[in-house]
Chain A
Amino acid sequence: AQSVAQPEDQVNVAEGNPLTVKCTYSVSGNPYLFWYVQYPNRGLQFLLKYITGDNLVKGSYGFEAEFNKSQTSFHLKKPSALVSDSALYFCAVRDPRGGNTPLVFGKGTRLSVIA
């Protein structure tokens, strides 16, 4: 069975500092990995995905994530945080051998960027 763990419920970072939101996954084969962001009272917005190829994936709003197969991790990063990055972040995984099946999401990490 597929699963995702986001070990931190809350991450606080000062504006201008680098940020990292952690995600580890468990899937039998090679995973497809996704990051989504949810702003207050909004649906989820896609940030980036890893399907294959370069382990460093760049996405929207200056975010990037690094796929690490040996550590089964897909941490979300940004070099310089903005107050507007404050939101709820979800990591998700899909086993591609199952086809276009629902994503399995982590419980989310709330990011707070302090001015």
Chain B
Amino acid sequence: EPEVTQTPSHQVTQMGQEVILRCVPISNHLYFYWYRQILGQKVEFLVSFYNNEISEKSEIFDDQFSVERPDGSNFTLKIRSTKLEDSAMYFCASSEEQSTEAFFGQGTRLTVV
């Protein structure tokens, strides 16, 4: 069964450092997303991406964040100058069409120390 894969599963970084979280969406999917979930809180939308550009972003997704689809398979989230409050589980998701369900990767747990 096709699945969304994310690497690494856990990333520890020092405050102020840059991190890149990587995702391989399901191959025939056209819509890609990043979400985050702070421990004990709800899943929060960060950004959606379609046709090689951001289609929507939340107020969380400020200038510190960027996304890229560097090739035909990878979808990355870059966080510049990480802060302690960026510690969370980051989920990548993809969907085939705009109205269909999204499938989530297993997440990257980011810990900023």
Asked if A and B are interacting partners, one says no
B residues with a Cβ closer than 8 A to A are none
A residues with a Cβ closer than 8 A to B are none
